[in-house]
């Protein structure tokens, strides 16, 4: 965030990762949300926003985005990379779910398409264990040196214990088989979630990702997520309010379904209860 002064413009996807929004607001950034579709951000809207003003950076998560699960298509990645070069803004590419692809073909990173305009970041958290909380950035050496200095001024040093764990995992060759194990564990959960949506909620519009942790739904016209949440609590189903993921409002009908922590049977039952909850609010 050392790139930012109060009032600076930052583009994000809409919806986007809520913690990023919290951080940007804390730094008093002016946030412009670019709508996300199932194949990534709407590039026409991105271009029309760029004609109005150029952001300091565009925070974007092209692979299995949190919260929508959307994956940016190859053609859109190419265009976003071109726009970053043309208008001279940074792409901050956040890719903690990229390696958790259960099927389909990988798209190139924005970093590979616009290496001089992209700061790429990822994390071991989703691959080793949540408690590790160890991330990393790849990109322009001068920018990263400045960021490291801010980090040092903020928390003295990184957590060397977490570094040691991640280093040993990689050195001993544990990471590739762990990723394969996670894919085997999570792939049936993704399938179960998609199948349950088809079975119980065929009218809901769902993203259909090939990996990651999240599927998202746009609830039918006239049904509000907040009402569904209240109804779901009565079925002992606890849902996150999606509103916090939207930088400039909207998202009344948005619902994120994180599928990784539940068994296929639990997922089926959860989606069944969700469908009941939607019915309750429509009556």
For residue 10, which of 27, 29, 28 has the smallest C-alpha distance? Answer: 29
Distance CA 175, CA 100 (A): 12
Closest to ligand PLP by CB, 79 or 256: 256
- Residue 158 is a binding residue for ligand PLP (CB under 6 A): no
CB of 112 to ligand PLP, least distance (A): 19
Q: Which of residues 127-146 bind ligand PLP (CB under 6 A)?
A: 133, 135
Sheet arrangement for strand 214-218: 205-206, 214-218, 254-258
- Residue 270 is a binding residue for ligand PLP (CB under 6 A): no
Among 42, 123, 178, 240, binds ligand PLP (CB under 6 A): 123
Closest to ligand PLP by CB, 67 or 270: 67
Kindly state the number of chain residues that form the binding site for ligand PLP, as judged by CB under 6 A: 9
- Residue 93 is a binding residue for ligand PLP (CB under 6 A): no
- Residue 68 is a binding residue for ligand PLP (CB under 6 A): no
Closest to ligand PLP by CB, 133 or 234: 133
Q: Which of residues 102-121 bind ligand PLP (CB under 6 A)?
A: none
Among 42, 78, 125, 240, binds ligand PLP (CB under 6 A): 125
CB of 48 to ligand PLP, least distance (A): 25
Closest to ligand PLP by CB, 256 or 273: 256
Among 12, 66, 109, 281, binds ligand PLP (CB under 6 A): 66
- Residue 94 is a binding residue for ligand PLP (CB under 6 A): yes
- Residue 73 is a binding residue for ligand PLP (CB under 6 A): no
- Residue 96 is a binding residue for ligand PLP (CB under 6 A): yes
Q: What is the dihedral sign for C-alpha 165, 65, 25, 77?
A: positive
- Residue 63 is a binding residue for ligand PLP (CB under 6 A): no
Interaction site with ligand PLP (CB under 6 A): 17, 61, 66, 94, 96, 123, 125, 133, 135
């Amino acid at each position: 965030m050392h790139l930012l002064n109060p009032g600076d413009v930052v583009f994000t996807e809409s919806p986007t990762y809520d913690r990023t929004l919290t951080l940007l607001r804390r730094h008093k950034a002016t946030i412009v949300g670019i709508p996300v579709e199932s194949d990534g951000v709407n590039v026409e809207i991105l271009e029309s926003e760029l004609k109005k003003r150029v952001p300091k950076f565009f925070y974007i998560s092209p692979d299995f985005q949190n919260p929508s699960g959307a994956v940016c298509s190859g053609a859109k990645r190419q265009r976003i990379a071109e726009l970053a070069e043309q208008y001279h803004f940074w792409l901050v590419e956040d890719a903690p779910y990229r390696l958790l692809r259960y099927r389909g073909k990988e798209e190139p990173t924005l970093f590979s398409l616009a290496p001089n305009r992209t700061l790429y970041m990822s994390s071991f958290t989703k691959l080793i264990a949540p408690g590790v909380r160890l991330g990393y950035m790849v990109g322009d050496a001068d920018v990263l040196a400045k960021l490291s200095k801010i980090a040092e001024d903020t928390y003295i040093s990184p957590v060397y214990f977490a570094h040691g764990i991640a280093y040993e995992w990689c050195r001993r060759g544990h990471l590739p088989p762990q990723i394969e194990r996670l894919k085997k564990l999570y792939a049936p959960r993704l399938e179960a979630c998609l199948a349950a949506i088809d079975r119980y909620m065929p009218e809901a519009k769902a993203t259909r990702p090939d990996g990651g942790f999240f599927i998202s739904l746009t609830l039918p016209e006239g049904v509000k997520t907040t009402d569904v949440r209240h109804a779901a609590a009565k079925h002992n189903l606890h849902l996150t309010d999606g509103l916090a993921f939207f930088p400039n409002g909207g998202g009344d009908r948005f619902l994120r379904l994180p599928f990784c922590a539940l068994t296929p049977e639990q997922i089926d039952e959860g989606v069944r209860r969700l469908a009941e909850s939607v019915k309750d609010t429509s009556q």
